[in-house]
A and B are shown apart, each in its own frame.
Chain A
Amino acid sequence: MIDLLADLGRGSIAVFQRLGRGHLFLLRVLASLGTLVVRPGLIIRQIWSTGVQSLVIIVISGTFVGMVLGLQGYNTLVTFGAEESLGLVVAKSLLRELGPVIAALLFAGRAGTALTAEIGFMKATDQLSAMEMMAVDPLKRIVAPRFVAAIVAMPLLAAIFTAVGVLGGYFCGVGLLGVDAGSFWSQMQTKVLLMEDVVNGVVVKGVVFGAVISWIAVFEGYDAVPTSEGVSAATTRTVVHSSLAILGLDFILTGLMFN
């Protein structure tokens, strides 16, 4: 019994120590962002590898999610004779929830894990230590550009996911199921609001999810045990923690925005 309590205590202390390390790490990363002002090229290169190279998975997934929404939405709406509202349903669902959330989950799996593995591998092979010995701060040179790039890329990817999803819904609803194209677009045009739907959904959620994913990803890489098992475990933690954080934060943000 005592052993169980001791284990529980040790486990809890370890969790809080890690949380503390994560927050201190975030502060150090934020403090080192100044360098990027004079070297924006470092961010642009990372936006290429985290953002642009995630485009394929985002576009393909967005298309299918939009098509499924079109199918499911049509089947439900048609029973009430409201299939003209399909465009509105597809757009609102994607803008407010599915676009940012699914894009973030995909981004965590595609780019977040790559960030963790890359930084963890650099640590395991002494590349970060070598940089320190060359008087180059790895936080400024390696971590900060990746952190910022992910925050910039995430809302852009969420916007692309949403736009492609709407086109997927259009293809299914209008192209395959015969919904009137004019109704599809006009309902969307009149009922979708810039601040409430687009800014709240894609922009705010996109930025928040991007910040959380990149924080978790770079911290897990930097804090990884420098062995192959350590990097593997860190990569897994990035996906698990990012996914849970995205879903939890989505509920909180939705509650704050729409109630």
Chain B
Amino acid sequence: MRGAGLASTRRFAYCAGPEQMPQHALNSTRASTPDPLVRIRDLHFRRGKRAIFDGIDLEIPRGRITAILGPSGTGKTTLLKLIGAQLAPAAGTVEFNGVNVHRLSTPALYTLRKHLGMLFQSGALLTDLTLFENVAFPLREHARLPEPMLRNLVLMKLEMVGLRGARDLYPRELSGGMARRAALARAIALDPMMIMYDEPFSGQDPISMGILVRLIKQLNDALGTTSVLVSHDVAETSTIADYVYVLSGAKIVGRGTPAELRESDSPTVRQFMGGLPDGPLPFHFPARPLLDDLLEKTP
């Protein structure tokens, strides 16, 4: 936890230089304020002919856990990549701390990304490095810290996720849950303002899932970070999310606290939150009638 203080000092050091992103964008307080950390307006994104987002508006408040729920394939990961400016929208804006991320120059964008942590679904640990070196990687790249200080910082991050004892292991020697926790330690290495979690619970056993749920909540509360959680695990996400958006059919079909959404009148939201097979969300991929396929002569 002490790392947060150290990194706060560093955060301002990163922003020095006229070519970097505007100071006002980063100097504002981390505490929960009425102005959201991320503001998305009228976002459109297409993949080929298919619309992934068709004019969505979304706000992520500071210091809270915001969940983005939706069935698989609705573009939840794409949304995180749009926020991190790894993808560019067809139209609309994504503002992080008042700055349009898609208007930034490459150096300014890279400066901004130092304040964003992302936990990938696969963990995305660097396979040729030990856990220690994986967590040390962003620190070595961006902060010229003396080796003893770097070691202490990395060990503290690993301690937070319970993997200090596994620091000399390689990613291939870890279970899925451990790999995700290690990736989480790396994501918080630079003490980011916001952490984006991409499907953190998928493919986890109940114990790992419980640990991850608790960790995300603890990190958010202890470090004062803003968290964005993309998931299709309704039950786990609802226990820790302060606010939830439900994505479906390229639109936001529901928004509110988990309790509000459970009481929602929207058939789509009810179907998704309740895990019901029947409803507006089709089980079948669009296709012609089954009889036509069965009666068709094969060559």
Q: Which residues of A contact B (CB under 8 A)?
A: 121-122, 125-127, 129-130, 132-137, 141
Contact = CB atoms under 8 A, between A and B. Distances in A.
A133 B137 CA distance: 12
Interface of B: 81, 84, 86, 110-111, 113-114, 116-118, 120-122, 124-127, 137-138, 141-142, 183, 186, 190
B138 A134 contact: yes
Q: Please report whether the interface of chain A is mostly helix, strand, loop or mixed according to DSSP.
A: helix
Nearest to B110: A135
A196 to B, nearest CB: 43
Contact of B118 (A122, A133, A136): A133
Contacts, number: 51
10 contacts: A127-B125, A129-B120, A130-B183, A132-B86, A133-B84, A133-B86, A135-B111, A135-B138, A136-B137, A141-B141
Given A133-B86, A133-B113, A137-B110, A125 B141 contact: no
Contact of A125 (B114, B124, B142): B124
A108 B190 CA distance: 39
Nearest to B122: A126
A250 B5 CA distance: 60
Given A135-B111, A135-B113, A127 B127 contact: yes
B79 to A, nearest CB: 14
B138 A125 contact: no
B113 A132 contact: yes
Nearest to B109: A135
B86 A134 contact: no
Given A135-B142, A136-B138, A136-B141, A129 B86 contact: yes
B110 A127 contact: no
Contacts of B141: 134-136, 141
Nearest to A137: B110
Contacts of B117: 133
A132 B126 CA distance: 13
A127 B124 contact: yes
Contacts of B114: 134-135
A74 to B, nearest CB: 48
Contact of B120 (A122, A130, A136): A130
B232 to A, nearest CB: 19
Contacts of A122: 126-127
Given A132-B113, A133-B84, A134-B138, 15 more contacts: A126-B120, A126-B124, A127-B124, A129-B81, A129-B86, A129-B124, A130-B183, A132-B86, A133-B86, A134-B114, A134-B141, A135-B113, A135-B114, A135-B142, A136-B138
